[in-house]
Amino acid sequence: MPEVRTILSEDFLGICLLAAGGDIDMSLGDIAALVEKFQGETSRFFGNTGADFRDLLCWLVYYADANSSFDEWGNKIDTVPLRAMALRMLAYLEICCNDEGEYWCSGQTSSEPNSYVLNEYFHGDIGAYMDKLSARQLMLDFFENLHGASCPAKDIQTLMAQAGITGDLFYSCSVYCL
């Protein structure tokens, strides 16, 4: 039976930013396709299957649009840009994948330490955890201040550097699957 796989929401957003090359106007569907390409080439999954990442994006759009039906939400990710869902991603604590599906999980998402996150993700390393909280706050501030305005690529690259969003996320958040 597949185990439960989790990724902090700020790391999930970081993976999206990396896949998009920092293009916050790229559609979630295009980002999913790039992530699926990575998964196919490396046999490393963000979840239990290669479909989990795309499914998580579909669920996120579905949760955001109360007027959509189950028949529509899968197609909507092809038109929704990353910038439109970034803050919604950060409103969740983590994503969870198991043999029954994919979920955006609520929890304490403040900048205050959370013992579950400290122990589950950082094995008690308070310094690493505080760095992650700082990165999360940088991402929140960045996307809250966009207000639909255009954003120079240089600013996005600066955010990614300051938040520690590097290609290592592709490997630290994925699992090798045969």
Q: Extract the tokens encoding 59.
A: 């669920």
Residue numbers of the domain that contains 76: 5-173
Q: What is the pLDDT of residues 71-122, one digit of tens each?
A: 666 678 999 999 999 999 999 999 999 888 899 998 766 666 788 888 889 9
Q: Is residue 86 part of a domain?
A: yes
Q: What is the 3-state secondary structure (H, E, C) of the chain?
A: CCCCEEEEHHHHHHHHHHHCCCCCCCEHHHHHHHHHHHHHHHCEECCCCCCHHHHHHHHHHHHHCCCCCHHHHHHHCCCCEHHHHHHHHHCCCEEEEECCEEEEECCCCCCCCCHHHHHHHHCCCHHHHHHHHHHHHHHHHHHHCCCCCCCCHHHHHHHHHHCCCCCHHHHHCCEECC
pLDDT at 71: 61
The mean pLDDT value of the chain amounts to 89
What number is the average pLDDT over the span 21-45? 96
Structure-model confidence comparison of residues 178 and 118, the more confident one: 118
The region of weakest confidence among 71-75, 149-153, 155-159 is: 71-75
Asked if residue 134 has pLDDT above 50, the reply is: yes
Total number of domains constituting the chain: 1
Quick check: is 9 in a domain?
yes
Question: What pTM did the predictor assign?
Answer: 0.92
Within-domain flag for 115: yes
pLDDT computed for residue 76 by the predictor: 86
Inside any domain, residue 167: yes
What does the pLDDT look like over 48-76, one tens digit per residue? Answer: 899 999 999 999 998 887 676 656 666 78
pLDDT above 60 (res 2): no
For the chain, give the percent of residues with pLDDT over 70.
91
Question: Could you tell me if residue 37 is inside a domain?
Answer: yes
Contact status, residue 82 vs residue 19, Cβ threshold 8 Å: no
pLDDT at position 149 is 76
Residue 178 lies in a domain: no
